[in-house]
């Protein structure tokens, strides 16, 4: 028997006086024999003491204010350090998995370059089945003071650093390397990190990629985000 049960038992014994009212003493851990004997008694409280409720001593006392079911739970708040936070509006069981994705693009290529983000290093990142990747922060820099104009997107295939685009590219942020659309993010100081809070959603099975406009500098980028159930 727990310490709390013993404490309740001792308290009730001190307050007992003779009575004919039956009480269910099993709630505080008494045996059947003790219950039969103690049912001959009931607490007698003064005007200054009142019995409000008898609670199973093994139950968390805060359970009386807990939601009736897990369906009432609030969706989780996803927070990435001090950078970004996201109140999920999906189902309350999203099974979040935090991810850090990395890409590195070299300098040559008159038509610009692409590279699939990797996680872990040297492995193209593909959003797992039944998941969605939510990108929440982008950190990037370049090797020289001249501008490097970059964008983000996803495709059906993974590609190494080069001029070949992923199959069926979808541009989410910035521009395509031919400068034909969108507004890019710009890195313009040698190896000084530039940080942007973002919100991109990449579906299951897709490969997120970094792209850089023509004739840019060596550029690297990191995307911080989270996988959640689709």
DSSP string, 128-159: PTTEEEEEEEEEEEESSSS-EEEEEEEESS--
What's the whole-model pTM score?
0.63
Q: Please say whether the beta carbons of 226 and 96 come within 8 A.
A: yes
Does pLDDT of 1 surpass 80?
no
Does pLDDT of 64 surpass 70?
no
- Cis status of the peptide bond prior to 120, with omega within 30 of 0: yes
Parallel/antiparallel/unpaired status of strands 219-229 and 170-173: unpaired
Residue 182: partners with Cβ closer than 8 Å, 6 or more residues away: 151, 171, 173, 174, 175, 176
Please report the pLDDT score of residue 18 as a whole number: 41
For residue 87, count other CB atoms closer than 10 A to its CB.
Answer: 10
pLDDT digits (tens, 9 = 90+) for 76-99: 566 665 655 666 555 456 788 889
Does pLDDT of 25 surpass 80?
no
Domains of the chain: 3-66 (no CATH), 77-229 (2.60.120)
Please report the pLDDT score of residue 102 as a whole number: 96
As given in the structure block, the two tokens for residue 111 are 């038509």
As given in the structure block, the two tokens for residue 183 are 């507004």
pLDDT digits (tens, 9 = 90+) for 124-169: 999 999 999 999 899 999 888 878 888 899 999 999 999 899 999 9
Please report the pLDDT score of residue 20 as a whole number: 43
pLDDT digits (tens, 9 = 90+) for 164-217: 999 999 988 876 665 555 677 888 888 889 999 888 999 999 999 999 876 678
For residue 103, count other CB atoms closer than 10 A to its CB.
Answer: 26
Q: Please say whether the beta carbons of 100 and 84 come within 8 A.
A: no
Tell me the C-alpha distance between 2 and 29, whole Å. Answer: 9
pLDDT digits (tens, 9 = 90+) for 42-51: 555 555 555 4
Please report the pLDDT score of residue 149 as a whole number: 84
Using alpha carbons, select from 125, 78, 74, 124 the residue that is nearest to residue 98. 78
Separation in Å, CA 40 to CA 8, 30, 33, 56, 125: 18, 14, 12, 21, 72
């Amino acid at each position: 028997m727990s310490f709390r049960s013993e404490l309740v038992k001792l308290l009730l014994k001190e307050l007992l006086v003779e009575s004919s009212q039956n009480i269910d003493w099993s709630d505080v851990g008494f045996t059947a024999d003790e219950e039969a004997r103690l049912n001959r008694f009931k607490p007698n409280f003064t005007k200054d003491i009142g019995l409000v409720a008898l609670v199973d001593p093994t139950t968390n006392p805060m359970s009386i204010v807990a939601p009736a079911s897990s369906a009432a739970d609030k969706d989780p708040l996803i927070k990435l350090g001090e950078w970004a936070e996201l109140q999920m509006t999906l189902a309350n069981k999203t099974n979040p998995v935090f991810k850090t994705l990395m890409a590195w693009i070299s300098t040559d290529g008159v038509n610009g370059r692409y590279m699939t983000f990797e996680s872990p290093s040297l492995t193209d990142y593909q959003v797992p089945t039944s998941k969605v990747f939510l990108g929440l922060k982008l950190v990037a820099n370049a090797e020289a003071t001249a501008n490097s104009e970059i964008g983000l997107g996803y495709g059906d295939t993974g590609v190494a650093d080069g001029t070949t685009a992923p199959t069926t590219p979808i541009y989410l942020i910035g521009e395509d390397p031919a400068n034909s659309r969108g507004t890019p993010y710009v890195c313009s100081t040698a190896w000084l990190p530039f940080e942007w809070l973002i919100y991109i959603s990449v579906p299951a099975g897709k490969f997120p990629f970094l792209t850089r406009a023509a004739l840019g500098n060596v550029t690297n980028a990191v995307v911080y985000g989270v996988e959640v159930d689709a």
